[in-house]
Amino acid sequence: MKSLYAILIGACCLPCFVGAQQSVSGIISDTHGEPLHYAAVLLVTAGDSALVRGGIADETGRYVFKDIQPGDYTISAGMVGYETAWTAGFSILQGTDLALPPIVLPEGAMLDEVWVVGQKPLFEKQVDRMIINVQSNSTHAGNSVLEVLAKSPGISVNQQGISMSGKAGVRVMINGKLNRMPMDVAVQMLSGMSAAQVEKIELISSPSAKYEAEGNAGIIHIVTAESPDRGTSGTAGASTGYNTGPTWDTHAHLSHRGKSFNAVLSYSIRYDKNRHNWDNYHEQSVGEFLQVTNSESRRHPVTVVQNFQGGFEFNLSDKTTVTTLLTGYERRWDMKADTYVTSIRPPDAAVYTDMDIVELNLWKSASGSIGLRHQFNPQRQLGVTYDYLYYHNHNPSRYDNRISVDNDDHYHEKIEVEKRTPVHFHVFSMDYSGSIKSGLTMEAGAKTSFSQFTNGVRVRHGGDRHLTIVPEFSNTAYMDETILAAYGSWSWKPGRVWNLDGGLRYEHTHTLISTKEEGEAVDRNYGNWFPNLRTSYRISQTNSIQLAYGRRITRPTYNEMAPFVFFMAPTSFVDGNISLMPALVHAVDFGFQHKNTWLTLKYSHTKDDIAPFQPQEDPENLYQILRSENLASMRAYGINFNFPLVITPWWEVQSDLSFYRYRYMTRHLEANRERQVNSLLLGNSHSFSLPRDYSVTLAGKYESGVIWGLNQIEPMWRVDLGVSKRFAHGGSLTLSGNDLFYTYIWKINAGTGYSRSFLFFNQPERSVSITYSFRFGNNQLKSINISSRAETEKQRIK
């Protein structure tokens, strides 16, 4: 606690903190000098007129574009009843805020209505992040957000998690608030979230001290689309398609902005009837005998996901605003599977099992947030927020097994698993930001998170008529966790060529886990400092270099630690690991930028890296157990090359190349040794703007293989194609095809020295869909940004 108070006091006394970025601003007026409110403004590059940003002037005629990269630009402005006007070319320098002379619009012919359509680039690279403009890629239509991520540069996705820049430990943030579901549950959530609701996805590799330190690889920030219309307006759309079964989704978003009251409402529902193939081959040495188990599972899940969000903003005065945010989420996963298992056991006995599996995985969540924000002046503001989050998981499953030994001895057994998991969070946060002087800004804040978790698992086993409790698999675990955090961050621009950003965050964690049967099992009380530093130097108008360092943490998710069991076969199951430790990483990036081309060298060292789904053996019961384990260490060396290419005004190409070399050491095996693995990721997309408002996107991705601890994933690739047509008044129709050659299939090899396993998981990505969406309302409303600070809390639910 002393350390926590020390950083709070120190943060308030720091001479400089984060905030300033390059910006350009100005006023739009008519020929009489009167401001033109809500005029459309476009920022484009001077060389090829490529659109960089688009916006609307406010009620005073003022516009501002923030976070602009150094370079040469020009601005155009237009409005119904006026002619379009352009500024002269201008340059934005590192660390400068540029104010332009007024843009004067001459009066012109009055039109009934004008629609201005600007196409953002598919990808935008900044110092600390890659931005994916989702709506600029027609192959994203009809997709889930998870499918969009699977196509993104440097991202690898499977049902257990997401890796970014070659590292696991990713955290997901939606509209400024981190989601604290465990990664496999966050994957499920993203698989049910429609891409039509998303404006952009930011892959933040070097988060500042303002963000929670959770997440070794960084943050994936999903920004949902908002209507820019004045008054009441919104968007709506629907999609239907087919993979191995029918899919459909529908979504709607409504915005209202009044004089002192603003509101946003959104709802979506997604249906997916699919077929998964899950095959597992496993060899295990038992004395001088080699036991072999082969299971083939044909799974038929039906998934229905619903999302709701309602946000309200009240202006108590010109400087004080109250916000509330309500969210709801439900994911119902009903699955029936036919599994056939062959097991050759000593002494030369063959056991055949025919399993009928019925599983329900039902996740429900609700959250409420209330916040108060006060603007002292344009340079200083204070925000206070309280969040309450509730999650509940009900996951019953039933296994009906018909077993024969050497095709002679037949018998029947049943296994029933009941699992319930309620979780509660209370989160309090306070954030302050201010500018000390030109080029010198600060942010500071504190946060307290209290969470309670119960995980009850009951496993029963027996014949047709009588089932008894299995004690080794049945348990109830309780967890109480408190995280206290404080941070201070600064930004300093000492001249025209240097830019320095840094910060320091302290987090103190107390985790207490107990079980109903054994009492206290884990009592951890620890604190960590998390520094970060970014510096950039502008060599010339088009060239710059950047250096970034950061320290981050990945805490075990609740379900990775708590007891639970999920059977893949009669002798193979997934289990929790109560002894898991948090993973700490030091990461360094060095980058060179030439115009929009980036070359980045990466290095990271992780202690106690958490590797999910690791195979282990129980030689006494002849079980294969899969659970998360800590690695002794993980070193990653990487290089990333990202470059756009405008071949013609209607043909844009975006390419991304990443190479990583991993060196890691296990520590949970009887014989641990250092291992080395190379990984190559390639991405390439072509965007074509055709006459009559047609556009085509062709994208491909290749992964030479990634690792998850002992699990090595074999190479895979995919090709996606999308064709889109825009209509008058904002409607669009898109036909998209994903994984056209049916090649994006997970094949995982793992070996422990005395065992070997091969897992084949095929959740078909190949699909075709057609999507129609439209917008309604006028074009004058500023976007409404209502969020909470319950950030990391949602990442660790299960």
Domains and CATH numbers, the chain: 2-114 (2.60.40.1120), 124-776 (2.40.170.20)
Inter-residue contact 194 to 145 (CB < 8 Å):
yes
- Per-residue DSSP letter, 68: P
Residue 514, pLDDT > 80, answer yes
d(CA 705, CA 460): 39
d(CA 148, CA 137): 10
What percent of the chain is modeled with pLDDT above 70? 82
pLDDT computed for residue 520 by the predictor: 85
Higher pLDDT, 706 or 674: 674
- What's the 3-state SS for 647-667? EECCEEEEEEEEEEEEEEEEC
pLDDT computed for residue 5 by the predictor: 39
**What mean pLDDT do residues 113-118 have?**
43
Residue 37, pLDDT > 80, answer no
What rounded mean pLDDT belongs to the chain? 80
* Tokens (6 digits) for 349: 């006995």
Range in 64-78, 303-317, 411-425, 712-726 the model is least confident about: 64-78
* Tokens (6 digits) for 549: 């360092």
Inter-residue contact 165 to 220 (CB < 8 Å):
no
Residue 364, pLDDT > 70, answer yes
Residue 226, pLDDT > 70, answer no
pLDDT computed for residue 359 by the predictor: 92
Closest by CA position to 534, among listed 586, 491, 475: 491
Angle (CA) 310 316 318, round 5°: 115
* C-alpha of 378 from chain center: 32
pLDDT computed for residue 199 by the predictor: 79
pLDDT computed for residue 248 by the predictor: 92
Closest by CA position to 459, among listed 447, 450, 471, 448: 471
- What's the 3-state SS for 250-288? EEEEEEEECCCEEEEEEEEEEEEECCEEEEEEEEEEECC
Residue 797, pLDDT > 60, answer no
d(CA 140, CA 618): 44
Residue 656, pLDDT > 80, answer yes
Residue 175, pLDDT > 80, answer no
- What's the 3-state SS for 572-637? EEEECCCCCCCEEEEEEEEEEEECCEEEEEEEEEEECCEEEEEEEEECCCCEEEEEEEEEEEEEEE
pLDDT computed for residue 790 by the predictor: 52
**What mean pLDDT do residues 119-129 have?**
66
pLDDT computed for residue 780 by the predictor: 43
Tens digits of residue pLDDT in 431-468 = 998 877 767 788 999 999 999 988 888 989 888 778 89
Q: CA gyration radius for the chain?
A: 27
Tens digits of residue pLDDT in 249-258 = 898 888 887 7
d(CA 75, CA 100): 10
- The confidence band for 192, taking pLDDT boundaries of 50, 70 and 90, is low
- The confidence band for 654, taking pLDDT boundaries of 50, 70 and 90, is confident
pLDDT computed for residue 563 by the predictor: 63
Range in 221-225, 422-426, 566-570, 676-680 the model is least confident about: 566-570
pLDDT computed for residue 180 by the predictor: 58
- The confidence band for 516, taking pLDDT boundaries of 50, 70 and 90, is confident
Residue recorded with tokens 């500018």: 435
- The confidence band for 183, taking pLDDT boundaries of 50, 70 and 90, is low
Residue 781, pLDDT > 50, answer no
pLDDT computed for residue 318 by the predictor: 80
pLDDT computed for residue 473 by the predictor: 81
Residue 430, pLDDT > 70, answer yes
- The confidence band for 303, taking pLDDT boundaries of 50, 70 and 90, is very high
pLDDT computed for residue 782 by the predictor: 43
d(CA 604, CA 659): 14
**What mean pLDDT do residues 159-184 have?**
68
